[in-house]
Amino acid sequence: MISEYLKNKQVMIENALHECLPEINTRPFVLHKAMHYCVLNGGKRIRPILCIAVAEVCGNSHALLPALSTELYHCSTLVHDDLPCMDDDDLRRGIPSCHIKFGSANAILTGDALLIHAFQILAETGEPRLTLELAQAAGSRGVVAGQVEDLAAAGQEPNADLLDFIHVHKTAILIRAAVRMGAILGNADEQDLKYFTLFGEKIGLAFQIEDDILDETSSEEVLGKPVGSDQEKNKLTYPAVHGMEAARSAAARLTHEALVALEAIDRDTSVLEGIATYLVNRQY
Amino acid sequence: MISEYLKNKQVMIENALHECLPEINTRPFVLHKAMHYCVLNGGKRIRPILCIAVAEVCGNSHALLPALSTELYHCSTLVHDDLPCMDDDDLRRGIPSCHIKFGSANAILTGDALLIHAFQILAETGEPRLTLELAQAAGSRGVVAGQVEDLAAAGQEPNADLLDFIHVHKTAILIRAAVRMGAILGNADEQDLKYFTLFGEKIGLAFQIEDDILDETSSEEVLGKPVGSDQEKNKLTYPAVHGMEAARSAAARLTHEALVALEAIDRDTSVLEGIATYLVNRQY
C-alpha cells in the first residue's frame, strides 16, 4: 500500500521535474541536456515525497514546486559529489555520472545550474521562509558542511562524534528541511512544527545509516553502483565505526523515535508512518 | 571624486561582506576560512556598488544586504571558474586561487556555499522578487549559460554571434541584475526600471569588453594575473574577433548608450554617470 503511494508520487514528481527544467532544445544545449540527465534518472524522490506528504497531512495539497526544489538541490549535490576530485564515482543510479557523460567542467556548471534552479523555483512560490529553510539546510552550516567533513574524514580513525556530525549535516538536515517545508506550507503551528522537525531529523539519520548498511550488504545490480565503495574509499560510515549489528539497531531505534514524534501530532499521520517504516526496510 | 565615492563604498562593502560571512572559527573551519579567503580579497565590488548606488538614486538607502548577495554569487563563479578543469587559473587578484590554497574539492564546496549564502541573504530580506532576479540572472539561461559557452568556444573560429552570447550571459546579465535589484529596492516605476535595465546591460557589456582589452594591454602587477591569459587559452574575446581598435570603440559606444539611457530617468543620476565612465577608463 505505501509502496503504491510512493510509486504514484514518484511518477508524479518525475513528470513535474521534467516540466520544471529548462527545455532541452534551448541553448546551451549541453547544459540543459545534462540537467535533464542528472535529474530524470529514477531517483527515490524521498525528499519531495516527504515535503508533499507532510503538507497533505496538514491539509495543503499545493506543495509540489517547493518539493521539487529539495530534489533539484539534492541532485546538484550528487553531481558535485561524484566528481573526480570529490568521491570520484563513475556510476550513479546505474548509469555514467554527469562528469563521465559531459566532462568535469560541464558537471560543475550543471550542479551550479541545478542549485540555482532550486532557488528560482522557491522564489516563484513567493514565500521567503521556504527559501531560507533550504538555504540554511544546504549552506556552509548544512549539507556543504557535511560534505567537507565527509571528504576530510576519509581514511581517518573511527570517530563517533565526527560520524554524527557528517550524518546530521550531509543527510538529515535536508530531509528535515523537506519535512519542515511541508509543515510550513501546511501552516502547522509551532508545536506541530517542532514534532515534524524531530520526525524529519530522526528519519534522516535512519536513512543515512541504512544507506551505509546497504552500501556493504546490497548488490551492484540493486544499488546501481559497486558494493563496498564506502569501504574502498575509507569513508567514515556507521558500520565502520560501530559495527553492522549496532548500525541495524540504531536505524531501527531512530525510526521508532520518529514514529513516537508523530504520535505527538494530532493529525492522521499514517502515511508518514508508512514512509518511515519503508525507508528503514528499503533494499536500495 | 567618483574614485573617492567608489573607495568609500568598497571599504563599506568589504566590512559588510566580512560581517555577513559565517564566522571563521566555526566548523567546518577549512570551509569558512576558504569562504573568507575567496570573498575578502580586494575585489572591485562593482556589482554591489551599482546595486547600492541605483537604490540610493531612487531614495532607498538600505540596499546593502541584497547588494552583498550579488558579490557573493560573483565570487562563487570565480572560485569555480578558476578550477583546473575549467579555466585552470592559479592566481586570482594576485594571490593563489581557492583550489591552489585549499584543494579542488574544497574549492567546489566553497563555491557552492557562497552561492547558497547569496540566496540565504536574499531570503532574509523577505523580498522574493530579488531572489528571482538573482536566480534568473545566474542560472542556466544566465551566467552559467555564458560559462558553458565560454568554455566550449575556446579554440574555435572567431564568431561574433557567439561572442555576443557569451558577453551578455557571462557578465552583462549579472551587472544588469545588480542594477535592477537596486531599482526594485527603490520602488522604481516600470518606465524607470526599463531604463535602469538598459543602463545595466550596456555598462555590463562595456565592462566585459574592457576586461578583454585589459587582459591584453595591462601589466601582471596591475591585473593580479598573467597578461595575455585569454589569448593563451584561445578564449573568444572582443579583440580576438573584432580587433583592438573596434574593441575600444565598442566599449566607448556602449558606455555612451548607457549614459543616454540614464537621461531618460528623471532623477539625479550623476553618480551612475560617474561609475559608467570610471568603468570604461579603469586600469584593472
CA atoms of A235 and A212, how far apart (whole Å): 10
Q: In CATH, what number is assigned to the domain containing residue A141?
A: 1.10.600.10
Higher pLDDT, A13 or B156: A13
Cα A30 to Cα A39: distance, rounded to the nearest angstrom: 14
Amino acid at B37: Y
Reported confidence tier of residue B262, pLDDT bands at 50, 70, 90: very high
Residues of B numbered 233-272 whose beta carbons fall under 8 angstroms of chain A's beta carbons: which are they? none
Q: Say how many domains are in chain A.
A: 1
Average pLDDT rounded to a whole number, residues B248-272:
98
- Within A69-144, strands assigned E span 91-92, 95-96
Nearest neighbour of B138 by CB, restricted to A27, A116, A124: A116
Give CA–CA dist A10/A8, Å, rounded: 5
A104 interfacial to chain B (CB closer than 8 Å): yes
pLDDT value of position A115: 98
Inter-chain residue contact A28 with B149, CB threshold 8 Å: yes
* Residue-level pLDDT at A264: 98
Among A28, A122, A165, the residue with its CB nearest the CB of B148 is A28
Cα A76 to Cα B189: distance, rounded to the nearest angstrom: 37
What dihedral do alpha carbons A135, A138, A141, A145 form, nearest 10°? Answer: -160
Please name which of B72, B79, B147, B152 lies closest in space to residue B115, comparing C-alpha atoms: B72
**Cβ pairs A/B, distance under 8 A:** 151
- Positive/negative CA dihedral, A136, A138, A140, A146: positive
Please indicate if any CB of chain B lies within 8 Å of the CB of A132.
yes
> What's the whole-model pTM score?
0.97
A25 touches chain B (CB under 8 A): no
Average of pLDDT values for B231-256?
95
What ipTM does this complex have? 0.97
Tell me what pLDDT residue A9 has: 97
Q: What are phi and psi of A16, to 5 degrees?
A: -70, -35
**pLDDT for res B227:** 84
Mean pLDDT of B38-43: 93
Answer whether A35 touches B (CB < 8 Å).
yes
In this predicted structure, what is the pLDDT of residue B207? Answer: 97
Provide the shortest C-alpha distance from residue B16 to chain A (in Å). 18
Q: Cβ of A128 and B132 within 8 Å?
A: no
B184-194: average pLDDT: 98
Look at residue B57 and tell me whether its pLDDT is greater than 80: yes
pLDDT value, residue A25: 94
CA-based nearest distance A186→chain B, Å: 19
Q: What is the pLDDT of residue B72?
A: 98
Query: Where do the H-state alpha helices sit in chain B?
Result: 2-20, 29-39, 46-57, 64-81, 98-102, 104-125, 128-138, 143-153, 160-167, 173-185, 190-217, 220-223, 229-232, 238-242, 244-263, 270-281
pLDDT for position A46:
97
Counting as low any pLDDT under 70, the low residues of chain A are: none
Contact B145 A103 (CB under 8 A): no
pLDDT at B263: 98
Amino acid identity of B211?
Answer: D
* A181: its cell numbers: 517545508
pLDDT at A133: 97
pLDDT at B195 over 90: yes
Average pLDDT, chain B: 95
Nearest chain B CA: its distance from A76 CA (Å): 10
Residue B88 contacts A where some CB pair is shorter than 8 Å? no
Q: What number is the average pLDDT over the span B191-218? A: 96
Contact assignment for B111 to A112 by CB distance below 8 Å: yes
B194/B279 Cα distance (integer angstroms): 21
CA distances to A57, A128, A183 from A52, rounded to whole Å, are 9, 18, 9
Judged by a CB distance cut-off of 8 A, whether residue B24 touches chain A is: no
A21: domain range?
2-281
For B282, the 3-state DSSP assignment is coil
Q: Which residues of A touch B85 (CB under 8 A)?
A: 103-105, 108
- Cα atoms found within 13 Å of the Cα of residue A243, Cβ hemisphere only: 3
Q: Which residues from chain B sit within 8 angstroms of residue A109, using beta carbons?
A: 80, 144, 147-148
Inter-chain residue contact A120 with B127, CB threshold 8 Å: no
Summarised one tens digit per residue, pLDDT across range B247-256 is 999 999 999 9
Mean pLDDT, to the nearest integer, of B225-234?
Answer: 86
- Mean pLDDT value of segment B144-151: 97
Give me the pLDDT at residue B238, please: 96
B100/A contact by beta carbon, under 8 A: no
pLDDT at residue B221 in the model: 81
> Which among A56, A266, A268 has a CA at the least distance from the CA of A179?
A56
C-alpha distances in angstroms, B88 versus A106, A235, B91, B190, B237? 14, 29, 9, 42, 17
Decide if B77 contacts A103 (C-beta within 8 A): no
Instruction: Tell whether omega for the bond before B66 is within 30 degrees of 0, i.e. cis.
Output: no
The closest CB to that of A116, out of B122, B124, B135, belongs to B135
pLDDT(B282) > 90: no
CA atoms within 13 A on the CB side of B132: 13
The answer to whether residue B152 neighbours chain A at the CB level (below 8 Å) is yes
Q: Give CA–CA dist A67/A63, Å, rounded.
A: 6
Contact B123, B131 (CB under 8 A): yes
